[in-house]
Amino acid sequence: MEALSEAEAASDRAYRLAEKQALLDLARQGLALGANAIVGLRKSNAHYDQDWIAMANVVCSATLGVAGFSNPCSATRPGRPKLSC
């Protein structure tokens, strides 16, 4: 899955906002598909000049999945003492 920031960043503040937008978009896409886990998050930048101003977009990509979580306190663990939680 991949998400591109909508914001074009020309400053540090705008770049941080673009990072957050791309990550939020990636999370929204995953939730829409039923995922509850992001694995192997990668971030890359697309730098370019626009009217002599250095601009950047942020691209976040990752593998999305569904992780099954269990409560270790209620699990039976052969040969191991029960955890007290």
Ordered strands of the 2-4 beta sheet? 2-4, 53-65, 37-50
% pLDDT > 70, the chain: 76
Would 43 be classed as within a structural domain? yes
Q: Examine residue 44 and state whether it is found in any structural domain, yes or no.
A: yes
- 76 in any annotated domain: no
Question: Per the structure, how many domains does the chain have?
Answer: 1
pTM summary value = 0.66
- Quote the domain boundaries for residue 49: 2-65
Q: What is the pLDDT of residues 8-45, one digit of tens each?
A: 778 888 888 888 898 899 999 989 999 888 888 888 88
53: CB partners within 8 A, 6+ apart: 10
- Distance in angstroms (rounded) separating the CA atoms of residues 9 and 34: 31
Q: Report whether pLDDT(78) > 80.
A: no
End-to-end CA gap in the chain:
37
Contact 27, 57 (CB under 8 A): no
What pLDDT is attached to residue 32? 92
Whether residue 81 is contained in a domain is answered as no
Structure confidence at residue 6 as a pLDDT band (50, 70, 90): confident
